Amino acid sequence: MSKEAEFEHKLYSLLDKITSHSFLGVKLDVKPQYDVGNKKADLVVLDNRGIPVLVIETKRKGDVRNSLSSKTDPYSKTVVGQALCYSVMIASKLKMPETPMFATANPDRFLVFKPIDMEKAKDIVDLNECERGNYEKAIREGKYGDLKEDYKRHADFRDCGLLDLPLDDKDAFYNWYHSNQWAGCHPFEIVAGGLISNGILLWPPDEDGKYTLSAGSYIHSYVKAVKGLLEAKVPFKAPDLYEALKILTGEEYVEVNDYNSGLLELVYVSYYDIKKKNKVEWEQLEGVFLKKKKKS
């Protein structure tokens, strides 16, 4: 049995045990090697009417030699394209208004994608490429690059070649990251700073395999980023989170229109951000006043 087939069997056994129970009166079932036209989806979860609700494409864990392969990486365009193809083909055959959920998985990752409205899905997926099994080209040109567009809108513009890299080529990223090409740039500043503010940084994984998210000056956006990474199940560290939450919950004083010392020194809170809040304490201003003239 191949490594991929072994993982598929283990995942099937787990899901089979789970679906042997009903949830809120709903009974699910899981089918391996589910027929999708002339293709077979690895695993498909069905509801009690026999309608697919989740399509799973499984891949083996890459070894040292090929761990960067786009054919085994659940994040890659090719693997996501394969799972999405099966989901769209199933929805098209059953005349469903939206696709089932679809997922890509290997022993290290299990990524689940929300259903997509079929009108939108047909704009994203080339069904002819799906039928051919050409999953690398199944997602239409530009449709897998929305992440880059988000980066352009919110991140620092000094990416120094990061945006030129393919999204699913870890070799290219590794070579770029370990070069001096991005020296002096801000490629990991995912929320750009300003003249008097510092941006939010998301550093690539270190030895423990986790990203590092730093707050910069924008603690509201920082907490939103934390929530987003948690929802996406991305392994990361947020060393500034405790301090940021103390500030947001009012447990700590912060300076307004100035940099803060203590908890998060780089946090700059403007009056515009807090003028509608009712937790402001004003300091007594000490100014210079002209003396009144004495009457002669």
> For position 64, what pLDDT does the model report?
35
pTM above 0.85, yes or no: no
> For position 63, what pLDDT does the model report?
41
272-285 pLDDT, tens digit per residue, is: 556 555 566 667 76
Which of 81-95, 121-135, 206-220, 255-269 is least confident?
255-269
* Mean pLDDT of the region 136-149: 76
When comparing pLDDT for 154 and 112, which is higher?
A: 112
* Mean pLDDT of the region 142-166: 75
Question: Which domains are present in the chain?
Answer: 3-137 (3.90.1570), 188-274 (no CATH)
> For position 217, what pLDDT does the model report?
79
* Mean pLDDT of the region 140-150: 69
Q: What is the 3-state secondary structure (H, E, C) of the chain?
A: CCHHHHHHHHHHHHHHHHCCCEECCEECEEEEEEEECCEEEEEEEECCCCCEEEEEEECCCCCCCCCCCCCCCCCCHHHHHHHHHHHHHHHHHCCCCECCEEEEEECCEEEEECCCEHHHHHHHECHHHHHHCCHHHCECCCCCCHHHHHHHHHCCCCCCCHHHCCCCCHHHHHHHHCCCCCCCCCCCEEECCCCCCCCEEEECCCCCCCEEEECCCCHHHHHHHHHHHHHCCCCEECCCHHHHHHHHCCCCCCCECEECCCCCCCCEECHHHHCCCCCCCCCCCCCCCCCCCCCC
* Mean pLDDT of the region 115-140: 92
Query: How many Cβ atoms are within 10 Å of 145's Cβ, its own excluded?
Result: 15
The answer to whether residue 119 scores a pLDDT higher than 80 is: yes
Q: d(Cα 67, Cα 65) in Å, to the nearest integer?
A: 6
14-72 pLDDT, tens digit per residue, is: 999 999 998 878 899 999 999 998 999 999 999 999 999 999 999 886 543 344 455 67
**Distance (Å) of CA 179 to CA 152, 200, 210:** 22, 23, 21
Q: Mean pLDDT, the chain, as a whole number?
A: 82
